Copies of this chain bind each other. A is one copy, B any other.
Amino acid sequence: MTIIEDDTTAYLSARLRRERESRGWSLGQFAEKSGVSKAMISKIERGEASPTATVLGRLSGALSVTVSALLSRTDAVHHGVRRYAQQPAWSDPETGYDRRQVLSGQKIPLELVEVTLPAGQKVTMPAAAYSFIQQAIWVLEGSLLFHQGDRVHHLDTGDCLELGPPQDCMFENKTAENCRYLVAVVRSA
């Protein structure tokens, strides 16, 4: 029997227990819903095992939250408010690419992510990265070229794009200004 000391797993164990108990589920019920053994769930909650991404996917699926939300440490969100300063953000200093997690829904299966794509930059996304996802893109500022296969959509400020089946694709900003857009993701129950 080993107690795992690392930060991520320690945080996860407390979080997982809290999520389960807040729903009033026993280990057995959670096991049924998630397809992960109750013994394993118990181990994770006691910090005795570190779950694989596969198991994380199953657990978060049963909880109807994203894996990202499950591991997010900004979720002590008391009344549902996510302050700008508390929203997780990531930037690539080299390119100026910026991504901000405005909302990772706890009560509702929704994520809102604000992205800044700098002038002249592009981002590619293989289909595998977003299978089983439902999402839309809304351009807040600037212009965006969306390439999907041999198809290109030109989106200007205010335009919105509802996405269909997953395909390899690329976002591109060919202009001299930054492009800022919102990605709204609905998680399937």
Q: A8 with B108: in contact, given A78-B167, A80-B162 (CB under 8 Å)?
A: no
Docked Cα-Cα span, A71 to B138, in Å, equals 21
**Would A134 and B162 count as touching, CB distance under 8 A?**
no
**Cβ proximity bits A132-160 to B, threshold 8 Å, 1 near / 0 not:** 11111110100000101001010111111
Residue A173 lies at the interface, judged by CB distance under 8 Å to chain B: no
Nearest B residue to A51, CB-CB: B53
| Interface residues of A, dominant DSSP | mixed
Which B residues are in CB contact (< 8 Å) with A15?
A: 129
Q: Which of B7, B79, B112 interacts with A151 by CB under 8 Å?
A: B79
CB-CB under 8 A for A6 and B57, given A72-B104, A103-B136, A153-B78: yes
Residues of A within 8 A of B (CB): 4, 6-15, 18, 22, 50-58, 60, 65-84, 87-88, 90, 92, 95, 99, 101-113, 115, 123-126, 128-138, 140, 146, 148, 151, 153, 155-164, 167, 169-171, 182-186, 189
